[in-house]
Amino acid sequence: MELVHMLARGGGDAPRDTAGARMALALAAGLGGSALLLAAVYGVRSDMPELLRQPLFWMKVSFPLAVLLAAQALATRLARPGMRIGTAPALALLLPPAALWLAGAGWMALAPSSQRVELLLGTTWEVCSLNVALLSLPTLVAMFWFMHGLAPTRLTAAGAVAGLVAGAQGVLVYSLYCVEMAPPFWGVWYVLGMLAPTMMGALAGPLLLRW
């Protein structure tokens, strides 16, 4: 009984948002690492001030940002042992690619048939997804640090969502360099770029998130 009283006297309020603070730190570290990698390997477009005035650029940026926010909410749930995922976060994750694919299909339908292959492939299709995957690596490492500190139990799913967060942030950073401005291109090569770290995370989860 004395031991119980001693432990009770030494206790304090539990941190209320450990997961939120840890997630913010992981995203900030990953974003900083990806930005440095972008600057070192690729650079930033010289016409960025003009690009920021184009609505199509903000449409391009809104896709990875929406995926990032939805995946972040899902990652916070999967990081906690025994917490239910729920249908809302999963549905929120499906909406951004569905909207992008719908826009891309409309774009292709309105374009002359002679331009459709160009809209789909652009000029960088051979390297785009690889570039996104490369830029996602700093965030992938940071997200595994986030996940491991909160003791997830569904390790494959947790690793996959950590990879998806990293892929979305990789696309977001790559948008500052990428010259492609066609939704059909984004719907294929950006999505494939996100899937690469997602698959890496799913494979690494059972190995690196075990506790």
Say if residue 17's pLDDT is above 80: no
Asked whether residue 78 is domain-assigned, the answer is: yes
Asked whether residue 5 is domain-assigned, the answer is: no
Q: pTM of the prediction?
A: 0.88
Distance of CA 14 to the CA centre of its chain: 29
Give the Cα separation of 23 and 143 in Å (integer): 8
Closest CA to 138 of 103, 165, 117, 118: 165
State the average pLDDT for the chain: 89
Banded model confidence at residue 20, pLDDT cuts 50, 70, 90: confident
**Distant-in-sequence contacts of 112-116, Cβ < 8 A, 24+ apart:** 116/184
Say if residue 58's pLDDT is above 70: yes
Asked whether residue 1 is domain-assigned, the answer is: no
Asked whether residue 197 is domain-assigned, the answer is: yes
Asked whether residue 9 is domain-assigned, the answer is: no
- What is the domain range of residue 178? 19-208
Q: Domain tally for the chain?
A: 1
**In this predicted model, what pLDDT tens digit does every residue of 183-202 receive, in sequence order?**
999 999 999 999 999 999 99
